[in-house]
Chains A and B, each alone.
Chain A
Amino acid sequence: MTRDHTLVAADLTLGYGDRTVVDGLDLAVPPGAVTAIVGANACGKSTLLRSMSRLLAPKGGQVLLDGKQVHRIPAKELARTLGLLPQSPIAPEGITVSDLVGRGRHPHQSLFARWNAADDAAVAAALEATETVALADRPVDELSGGQRQRVWIAMALAQQTELLLLDEPTTFLDVSHQIDVLDLLTDLNRTRGTTIVMVLHDLNLAARYADHLVALADGRVHAAGTPAEVLTEDVVRAVFGLENRIIADPTSGKPLMLPLGRHHVAGAVPSLAGDVAGLPPQGAGAATVLTVAGAVPDGALPSER
């Protein structure tokens, strides 16, 4: 699988009606990497993602996939290269998991060339990657939130695109399921080279899982780069209007943001931002994580899976 698909937003202006949400934004998605987009509510994250997958026509500027405007690429052709998982997809009543995942094959089928063995294999691979094989014949509406999200990701995987955009894939999930989903996406990136772009709310998870972090503010890119470059006290203050300290995450070496509200803050917290910047951008291995996991209180690790 190639890693050289480029996705670029150039001087992009987006909005709904008279309201401008994104204003003259420039962004280049690094091929073959995991990119996370963060920003305050209503800063245009989802709007940007929708436009990059051509759900929203730009008011100005353009989105270029491999140098071609996405709005000029035929719908099915685009859908074979670039997939999108929206924030709240709808599962029709009574649909089974394998049927839902099978709908991800739509862009690979035409009126004359219908379902074939490659489609079955793609569905099977997607079910296995997301560990939803056992759920294949269950109706989607009977599943838990975490299972359902995995099924939706399986549908996006069955689409077999080399670029995958996800709008807040971890919303409504408890912490262990959030980690499941992010690990799954990382696997996908590492084994298949899939380029991943996701909007995330949790800054610390974004910093840990992204190779490339983009902070949006007021419809523009405020900062973009490695997590260590982007997740700084100044950026968090500017983007979220929040006093904070950045320390080095002892489990990953990535920056960790500690919010400073008006309450429950005991004295000055030493800032370790300088140390973080010096760390290599690629995170620590799994072994490091395991040794530290013992220090986490039991209650923080939900046993349900």
Chain B
Amino acid sequence: MTLLDRARASTTDAVQHGRAARARRRRTVIVVLALLIAVMAAVSLMAGRTFYPPADVIGVILGQDVPGASFTVGRLRLPRTALAVLAGLSFGLGGVAFQTMLRNPLASPDIIGISSGASAAAAFAIVTLSLGATEVSVFAIVVGLAVALLIYLLSYRSGVAGTRLILIGIGVAAMLDSVTAYVLSQAAQWDLQEAMRWLTGSLNGTSWPQVLPVLVAVAVLSPVLLGQGRNLAVSQLGDDTASALGVRVDRTRLIVIVAAVGLIAFATAAAGPIAFVAFLSGPIAARLVGPGGSLLVPAALVGALLVVVADFVGQFAFGTRYPVGVVTGVLGAPYLVYLIIRSNRSGGSL
């Protein structure tokens, strides 16, 4: 072995070790997040106005008839917790996919109007058209995709620049939020509690028919999105570099947009636009995982954990019960301000 070969071998080892260490850290983060979600879900199934021991909860999940618990856990808490996890996964995954694709943490669907579109559509479908859960989901996803397309076309000028898309998206979001507010102002007085869902996001009164479409969306769309993980990572190097590396950029972008908007729209139709979860999950996951490696799975898990914890806090930490979106909003708003201040300081693009 020559000296040069030996040097080459040691560099290869270093490269290999660095990569293995990063992969280990990512795996650890994923396992810990999954465990935390399981623990928090279990706690939110057991705790409440009445406490049910783990044995009762497991009995209910296994389909046994447990007096009291069968209704409270089976009908009230289980669908609520399931929706919390599924919506969190959807928001986290859809959000980080957009942020990665557009190379900007501000480009999350809840900032650029896609959540607002789905939210306005769902509010309109429920309050004005009185549609059922599945129709509402379909309506929300169609409008969500239409809004995504609109923002894309409005910001298209020989390629899509991230900043322009974000600014147009914020404007579109403001318009759509006012549509939601108008629809709700026309709604009957007694719907007001329910109406909160479309402004901030809420899991109150969740029932199984609401959960099912989200479950199907997560089962179908998240594998599609995860399959694009490495294409997405390479696309971050810019369209030309990515194409030169053999990525079909337009195809990747189309798949990612449709799958991510689908996830966001289904979750929004069921739980409302739970504020800032899509926006926060990616950056939190990036902090946890460190540089390198795909953020899709960690961000999805962060989203689920955020929603489950925020819902639990909103229900039990204060005298009044707050919708989950109020809690995530309190967490997310300061981070949004921080991001804008930081990008302002560096004088760079958003």
Chain A residues in the interface with B (C-beta under 8 A): 16, 50, 53-55, 75-80, 83-86, 88-96, 98-100, 102-104, 106-107, 109, 111, 115, 117, 120-121, 123-125, 127-128, 133, 136-137, 139, 159
Contact = CB atoms under 8 A, between A and B. Distances in A.
Given A90-B103, A92-B103, A127-B11, A120 B16 contact: yes
Given A90-B241, A136-B14, 13 more contacts: A50-B240, A76-B246, A78-B246, A79-B246, A86-B238, A90-B103, A90-B237, A99-B292, A100-B237, A106-B230, A120-B16, A136-B15, A159-B245
B243 to A, nearest CB: 5
A80 B291 CA distance: 26
Nearest to A86: B240
7 contacts: A85-B244, A98-B15, A98-B19, A102-B292, A109-B230, A117-B12, A125-B8
Nearest to A137: B18
Interface in B260-303: 286, 291-292
Contacts of A75: 243, 246-248
Contacts of B291: 94-96, 99, 139
A124 B240 contact: no
B18 to A, nearest CB: 6
Interface string B1-26: 00000011001101110110010000
A78 B158 CA distance: 25
A120 B19 contact: yes
B132 interface: no
B336 interface: no
Interface in B1-57: 7-8, 11-12, 14-16, 18-19, 22
A7 B243 CA distance: 18
B344 interface: no
A91 B8 contact: no
Nearest to B233: A103
Contacts of A120: 12, 15-16, 19
B245 A115 contact: no
B236 interface: yes
B18 A107 contact: no
Nearest to B104: A93
Interface of B: 7-8, 11-12, 14-16, 18-19, 22, 103, 158, 227, 230, 233-234, 236-241, 243-248, 286, 291-292
Nearest to A140: B291
A250 to B, nearest CB: 34
Given A89-B237, A96-B292, A79 B244 contact: yes
A128 B244 contact: no
Contacts of A133: 11, 14
Nearest to B244: A84
B12 A124 contact: yes
A124 B14 contact: yes
The residue among B227, B239, B240 with the most chain A CB atoms within 10 A of its own CB is B240
B18 A98 contact: yes
A16 B158 CA distance: 10
A84 B241 CA distance: 7
A270 B247 CA distance: 53
A127 B237 CA distance: 18
Nearest to A152: B241
Contacts of A79: 244-246
Contacts of A139: 291
B168 to A, nearest CB: 21
Contacts of B18: 98, 136-137
A107 B15 contact: no
A89 B238 contact: yes
A86 B11 contact: no
Pairs of residues from A and B, 7 with the lowest C-beta to C-beta distance, nearest first: A79-B246, A84-B244, A76-B246, A86-B240, A107-B246, A90-B238, A124-B11
A137 B227 CA distance: 27
Nearest to B158: A16
B238 A128 contact: no
Contacts of B292: 95-96, 98-99, 102
Contact of A89 (B11, B103, B240): B240
A53 B244 contact: yes
Given A94-B286, A98-B18, A137-B18, A80 B11 contact: no
B236 A90 contact: yes
A86 B16 contact: no
B12 to A, nearest CB: 4
A103 B247 CA distance: 11
Given A92-B236, A95-B292, A98-B19, A86 B8 contact: no
Contacts of B246: 75-80, 106-107
Contacts of A128: 7-8, 11
Given A75-B247, A124-B8, A103 B237 contact: yes
A55 B244 contact: yes
A209 to B, nearest CB: 22
A106 B15 contact: no
A50 B244 CA distance: 9
A54 B227 CA distance: 25
A233 to B, nearest CB: 36
A81 to B, nearest CB: 10
Contacts of A85: 241, 244
Nearest to B9: A124
Contacts of B19: 98, 102, 115, 120
A210 to B, nearest CB: 22
B234 A124 contact: no
